[in-house]
Amino acid sequence: MKSTNAFSQGSADHDIECTAADWLGRRDGGLTAEESRELDAWLNADPRHAAAFAGLEAALRSLDRLASLRPPHSSAPDPDLPLLARPRTERPAFRRTRRWIPLSIAAAAVLGLASFALPTSFFTSTPAIELLSTEVGEFRKCTLPDESIIELNTDSRVEVVYSGTGRRVKLVRGEAYFTVAKDPSRPFIVTAGNVGVRAVGTAFNVRIRPEAVDVLVTEGRIRVDDAPQGGTAQPDLRPEPARAEVAAGERAVIRAEASVNRTVSSSVVVQPVDRGEMDRLLAWQDQRLEFGPTPLRDIVAEFNRYNRQQLVVADEETGALSVGGTFRAHDPNTLVHLLQTNFGIVSEKQGRQTILRRRP
């Protein structure tokens, strides 16, 4: 009997590990809002599920260190590096490596990995346009013909134009993370509104906000150009476009402002970003939202990007409440519970809105 029970327990543990590996692969490939809810339900169904999933995540983070032993976009080891990985303090502070799954769980995860490859006709001399987009709450990873990668956040859209002479991507709305394959003969150019980002081989994040465009560099170096298009002002009255070099560990904020000389003007502000802030800004890649002490109105705005059930702050006093924490992007209920338990907030559902206000 002992033997049977031990076998059953081992089989159950194996099934849980395989399911965890499958979910991890699917998440890294991109989950829809419905799939994210299914994952949350599976994690909460049994403590062993969450433990297995967390264990595999930790293993992958450890294995990411091996990526430092080879150059980007190459499967060959770097001959200039020692066989043993360098101490963490000597590694580039902001390099983010592409995750991979160890051989022991590859069979379970391979079916869950999702990527999107553009047609090889994009290498021809005649440019072609490919439109890629995500719905609210959806995440998508797209691999381009040259092995560059675009990761699209929620409610985002890009237009990709590849040809034999150029690589161009227009971020129409939302947010995207770009891992660019090196090709000095064909610079990789991303436009977002009136902002242009030029790169050769690097990695960076671009987000369009109502008031500004944010560019965060995690690897290499880029050039940001404020290149206004259109407008009603005469060309000779327009100032020269602002340009800035932005290196790994830096963030450029290009803010639009009214100007007497043209319809829209921009100023480029470059500032350093520490590791903690960078992790918070890129937490969306793991379907998470991280906040330091932040006004509730701003936290609500972030949650609303990922969910069709919208949170609404009832008044200025409630919106100014300072809150922090780490949440699953598709789980606003955890935030609501935290507010009700610790901050004296009551909630009321009205159709597709959840109203938040101070308890009387």
Residues 220 and 120 reside in one and the same domain: yes
Q: Which range of residues forms the domain containing residue 322?
A: 287-358
Q: Which of 82, 104, 126 is the last residue of a domain?
A: 104
Contact 254, 268 (CB under 8 A): yes
Inside any domain, residue 111: no
Alpha helices in 2-136 (DSSP H): 2-29, 33-45, 47-63, 103-109
Q: Which of 261, 279, 297 is the last residue of a domain?
A: 279
Inside any domain, residue 110: no
Inside any domain, residue 213: yes
Contact 229, 194 (CB under 8 A): yes
Give the gyration radius of the chain's Cα atoms. 23
DSSP output for 334-357:
HHHHHHHHHS-EEEEEETTEEEEE
Inside any domain, residue 159: yes
What sign has the CA pseudo-torsion 323, 325, 329, 333?
Answer: negative
Residues 136 and 262 reside in one and the same domain: yes
Q: At what angle do helices 47-63 and 33-45 cross, to 10 degrees?
A: 110
Residues 202 and 222 reside in one and the same domain: yes
User: What is the amino acid identity at position 99?
Assistant: R
Inside any domain, residue 239: yes
Residues 155 and 274 reside in one and the same domain: yes
pLDDT at site 3: 42
Domain harbouring 191, CATH code: 2.60.120.1440
The model's pTM is 0.65
Task: For residues 249 and 233, give the distance between their C-alpha atoms in angstroms, rounded to a whole number.
Answer: 36
Residues 88 and 226 reside in one and the same domain: no
Number of domains in the chain: 3
Residues 212 and 255 reside in one and the same domain: yes
pLDDT at site 62: 54
pLDDT at site 58: 64
Residues 52 and 163 reside in one and the same domain: no
Segment-wise mean pLDDT, segments of 10 residues, the chain, 360 residues: 45 76 77 79 79 72 50 48 37 39 39 43 55 94 91 96 85 96 89 89 94 94 71 40 85 68 60 94 95 95 96 95 94 94 93 92
Inside any domain, residue 109: no
pLDDT at site 200: 79
Residues 266 and 131 reside in one and the same domain: yes
Domain harbouring 319, CATH code: 3.55.50.30
